[in-house]
Chains A and B, each alone.
Chain A
């Protein structure tokens, strides 16, 4: 049995948003000479446009480096950058499975945050060695000793020799690298054993086919080898293996313990799944690696192409995104109002927004998305149960015995000044108080049980606006709870518009219905006839507004020189009409379906 390279270190970085994870990754790369300062783009690993714009990491990104340590030996590092937001925990767990250690970055001014903890526990579950790093020591408000104490008390890690750095200024970066060398163990495995490599990510390259990101656990793999995965019978010939430098850099072979990529002219996207194991076709491993727990989507929405004829483009886009975002689920859907599209499931609201944006940007597709929904558990009168995440699939009220809705445990952190406002908000949102803890005199943690459907609605916006942006919150699904729920339908000129139906709590229906009607009244352009906009529950009208008929829409003068001008004007009007959806006799602008539930228009500023 041959051991893997003893001088190999695979590690990732765990940190709360804004605690400087990507900056530390950049400094490490700079220090090891991986990239010269001159070529350095700010936050190199966040290569997606959205990541840079929002200053967050969405995708895990691996990079290989070489470091000559103080003991004189050269080490090979594989660093895997990971997302910090709770919605992307799934991505994190994937990177963790490819590593032996994790740097836990803690902001010296902020201390340990809730979301960090979740990831720390994930890392501990994966038997990773955790190396705490205190960042931002250059700031005036840095409380290095307090942060250390918090790490020791809350997580129970020894902080005696932990690196204290300023990633921004580049101070003490070598301490981090030394800590990696000495604290993170080299990988296990047997290079002589049959190949088994965990797929921890993948994406589609137009020339090379699917690129698999793998962590080789046992054996070796090189170009020309015949491989297969456990989930598919198909055999592929490896065309290229290599490392992340950070861009793909071919090399001769990947051996046990190493992290790298693998291409094998895999053209069919459906043949590969993240979490599956790659093995040799001729000498396969006996069993697959553990893989990952399947991510459960909690937020759902319909996605439709703005231009109905681009449905196949949308399908292609979603398939490709799915390839490197295993948490995304989808199934074909059909709406009377919006035509053919997909019902998609997401890990959270941010995940949903990111996917929507990626479809639009990376695939240049204009889409319509329906209001987010959650998955309800319906007990039918005939004794059967089903989950419903699409309001239009809800059985008729007479077939429903009872319904349950998903409940989350929400942790809200805020300065004490806003306690009253937050409690009022949680009350409004049908919350149940659970606990309140003063973390220090400036920070309180509130715990509430809240229905998830209130959170996907406008909880976040409301929380931000009622606390002037000071409060932050995090949530996790805890289970289902019986609830009186009804489907709220919207009727335009007497016809139900399926894409606007929502499932709401009975007590909410009236207020929600009235608000929807008011918003629609303002959003639907006036047409040649009066349009009643009604909200209904089980056939009973509970709110009504009217879009008045247009009274003036004419060019006053149309003489010699006006004729060409008038044609252009009508052309524009016709273009506008093309972007509308026909609901019965009513023309509705596509934006309506997305904006109608947004009480707060500046959602995107998150």
Chain B
């Protein structure tokens, strides 16, 4: 089974931490861009006509900032060009400051059945600091529109001056709003973003403090019925994101739109990051791929281990054997010998023990060649 990712590179304004490909001043070309997206979908669909897809994800940027009719049109093309399963998971990212009843209604008609809402924090001052265009009130309104829907809320850790109390409030607001799924991400200050300056100045919580907030949040989420199924993802039973699980199972996916990444035909490839270049390519009938890497057998095995160990479900020896016809503990005997003390194992499965999930890089590095 495979996934489809669509990138919508527009937003109202850049958040201070954002290093995604998103253009705050280019909404004028949204219509043209969406038309290109449709053409790309059409062409990729032909290429992949023998594949079945079980999830679609519209990410950004802020997909909810463009006219919902465009989203409708793109989804229409997706269902036409690709073979989807009977009940695919179709997610769209929403900014709480850009929603309306009508928009949500259009999304529903377009087949979208899951919503990912960027709450980030339930402290208005922190939202302002991050350059978010919404406040807590907006989120609550958005949540009311999504009542009964399968929706997820994003929460960020590691904000300037953030306390456990702040995290508690954010989780409680998300839970009260009715989120079935919560993603709790540690902020990663990227070079080139405004927040990187804060990071360099030591104004952001350090690793230990973030870990402290994370542990606090993790326990609170468990109390509220959200179970960790991956490093940063928590869900009520049955509400895990199928689209994301596909990544961690090393499933195939096709990415459409500017800067979108794909993994198909044993290759990892990425579209151009340049908006105009992307449209030019599509209009001239070529794929706008700028990077392509064939994954070697050795790399593939490593990816499998690295991705599987991100999940609480862990690595299945049987699935590994089905993929590579070899035993993972033999393939990585050195790494495994060095790190087995950090694992919990039961039958077919090996997973990183809970207390080490957040320091897994040190464990995974042992599996690198």
Contacts and interface: CB of A to CB of B under 8 A. Distances in A.
A560 B253 contact: yes
Among B208, B210, B244, B364, the most chain A Cβ lie within 10 Å of the Cβ of B364
Which label, helix, strand, loop or mixed, suits the secondary structure of the B interface?
helix
Pick from A564, A566, A574 the residue with the most CB of B within 10 Å: A564
A552 B210 contact: yes
B188 A556 contact: yes
Given A528-B362, A570-B361, A564 B210 contact: no
Contact of A560 (B262, B356, B369): B262
B248 interface: yes
Contact of A569 (B253, B356, B361): B361
B121 interface: no
A553 interface: yes
Interface string B257-280: 001111100001010000000000
A335 B364 CA distance: 29
Interface string B183-198: 0011110000000000
Interface string B217-256: 0000000000000011000000000001001100001010
B121 to A, nearest CB: 15
A574 B363 CA distance: 10
A600 to B, nearest CB: 25
B359 interface: yes
Contact of B207 (A553, A555, A563, A570): A553
Given A558-B248, A561-B259, A570 B357 contact: no
B211 A567 contact: no
A146 interface: no
A319 B232 CA distance: 57
Nearest to B253: A560
B15 interface: no
Nearest to A559: B247
A569 B365 CA distance: 9
Contacts of A556: 185-188, 231-232
A567 B342 CA distance: 21
Contacts of B362: 527-528, 550, 553, 573
A397 B208 CA distance: 43
Contacts of B366: 574, 577
A594 B236 CA distance: 53
Interface string A521-555: 00000011000000000000000000011111111
Interface stretch (B31-39, B43-51, B99-107, B299-307): B299-307
A563 B253 contact: no
B297 interface: no
Given A528-B342, A574-B368, A552 B211 contact: yes
Contacts of B181: none
A571 interface: yes
Contacts of A552: 186, 207-208, 210-211, 214, 358-359
A293 interface: no
| Most chain B CB atoms below 10 A, which of A548, A552, A563, A577 | A552
Contact of B303 (A560, A561, A567, A571): A567
A308 B359 CA distance: 29
A557 interface: yes
A563 B208 contact: no
Contacts of A574: 365-366, 368-369
Contacts of A528: 342, 356, 359, 362-363
B5 interface: yes
B261 A570 contact: no
B113 interface: no
B132 interface: no
Contacts of A555: 188, 361
A559 B244 contact: yes
A557 B154 CA distance: 12
Contacts of A569: 361
B135 interface: no
A371 to B, nearest CB: 29
B218 to A, nearest CB: 13
Contacts of B359: 528, 549-554
B360 interface: yes
B281 to A, nearest CB: 18
Interface in B341-363: 342, 356-363
Contacts of A566: 306
**Most chain B CB neighbours (cut-off 10 Å) among A527, A554, A567:** A554
Interface in B301-347: 302-303, 306-307, 310, 342
A558 B261 CA distance: 12
A554 to B, nearest CB: 5
Given A560-B263, A561-B260, A567-B306, A554 B255 contact: no
B28 interface: no
Bin chain A's interface residue count.
Answer: 20 to 34
A558 B306 CA distance: 10
Interface string B65-101: 0000000000000000000000000000000000000
Contacts of B247: 558-560, 563
Nearest to B368: A574
Interface in A313-371: none
A560 B241 CA distance: 14
B186 A553 contact: no
Contacts of B186: 552, 554, 556
A160 B248 CA distance: 91
Nearest to A577: B365
A557 B232 contact: yes
Contacts of A553: 207, 358-362
Nearest to B21: A561
A13 B26 CA distance: 75
Contact of B368 (A549, A557, A559, A570): A570
B265 to A, nearest CB: 15
Nearest to A569: B361
A571 B247 CA distance: 20
Contacts of B363: 528
A497 B279 CA distance: 61
Contacts of A563: 247, 261, 263, 268, 303, 307
A375 B43 CA distance: 78
B246 to A, nearest CB: 9
Given A556-B185, A570-B368, A561 B211 contact: no
Nearest to A550: B359
A573 B310 contact: no
A311 B152 CA distance: 58
A358 to B, nearest CB: 35
A144 to B, nearest CB: 56
A560 B261 contact: yes
B253 A554 contact: no
A219 B283 CA distance: 91
A551 to B, nearest CB: 3
A557 B262 CA distance: 17
A376 B144 CA distance: 81
Nearest to B59: A559
A500 to B, nearest CB: 23
A395 B359 CA distance: 43
Contacts of B187: 556
Contacts of B302: 567
Given A556-B232, A574-B368, A550 B261 contact: no
Interface string A561-585: 1011011011101100100000000
26 contacts: A550-B362, A552-B186, A554-B186, A554-B359, A554-B360, A556-B188, A557-B185, A558-B307, A559-B244, A560-B5, A560-B255, A560-B260, A560-B262, A561-B261, A561-B270, A563-B261, A563-B263, A563-B307, A564-B268, A566-B306, A567-B306, A570-B306, A570-B361, A570-B364, A573-B362, A574-B366
The 9 closest A-B pairs by CB, nearest first: A551-B211, A561-B261, A574-B368, A552-B207, A552-B211, A573-B365, A556-B186, A553-B361, A560-B261
Given A551-B212, A574-B366, 11 more contacts: A528-B359, A548-B208, A551-B211, A552-B359, A555-B188, A556-B185, A556-B232, A557-B232, A561-B260, A570-B306, A573-B361
